[in-house]
Amino acid sequence: MKAVILAGGKGTRGRPYTEYFPKAMTPINGKPLIDYIVKYLKSFDTVNEVIIISDFTGLGGQIKNYFGSQQDIVFVQDSQSGTGGDLLHITNRLKNESEFVLWFVDNLCAIDIDKMRNLFREKNSSACIATRTRRKEETGFATVENGIIKEFKEKPIINLQMSECLGVYMLGKDIIKRIKSKQKQKEINLSYDILQPLSKEEKISAFDIGQKEWIDAESPMILERNEKTVKKIIKQMGL
């Protein structure tokens, strides 16, 4: 099975840091973020190749220089045609795959890819999205009655009323067919143009990560502020 990492975003939320390096190269304990993701994906026997899509003519060149010429890593130039459009440029590499992993590079989580794949197949899905229903808040909360604070809760873990979608997907080969049907568009957004209509057909399954930690690694500042969580995730990854 192939694993595709989308690392071509402009990283606007990570500025000013991402003016000097892509968010994929955000340092964590002396190694770039993407190094942890690649090693984690390669730790699964079911993953035989990692495809990294980025702007290698720009800051993304740092990613290519970091990994060098490893046989099981393929570099594909970002086409600037949206999160769905980029997948059109790797159709030849995916043509023999019944499904593949799509991982947005700013997601850090020890998601069990094999269990996610099993659910994807069990539900006969076209797509499976990693989700969570619990979240640790970064601010303090309070219990209020009649305008009076009765109790403080510092950074509590709350149960979400709706499942939060994370940036890790298991996608079937029919997704590529749907993207091809929209290739006349200048940009194809995977979520809005492809997955949203699929949800109406009940073709998308949800893989809840349960007690696993997850973080949106948008900038060095976020990672530093959540240092304990980051360390816990890396430990869960076995790295």
Architecture of domain 2-133+161-236: Alpha-Beta Complex (3.90)
Averaging pLDDT over each range in 40-49, 146-155, 188-197, which range is the top one?
A: 40-49
Burial of 217 (0-12, 13-18, 19+ CB in 10 A): buried
Domain boundaries in the chain? 2-133+161-236
Averaging pLDDT over each range in 37-41, 139-143, 146-150, which range is the top one?
A: 37-41
Element (H, E) at 133: strand 127-136
Task: Report percent pLDDT > 70 for the chain.
Answer: 95
Quick one: average pLDDT of 91-106?
92
**Helices and strands of the chain, counted as H and E runs:** 9, 13
The pLDDT tens digits for 184-235 are: 788 899 998 999 999 999 999 999 999 899 999 888 888 988 899 999 999 9
- What are the residue ranges of helices labelled H in 148-209? 173-180, 196-200
Q: How far is CA 168 from CA 59, 88, 109, 160, 165, in A?
A: 23, 18, 9, 19, 8
Please state the φ and ψ torsions of residue 30, each to the nearest 5 degrees.
85, 0
**pLDDT higher for 141 or 3?**
3
Distance CA 121, CA 133 (A): 22
Name the DSSP letter for residue 17: G
Distance of CA 196 to the CA centre of its chain: 18
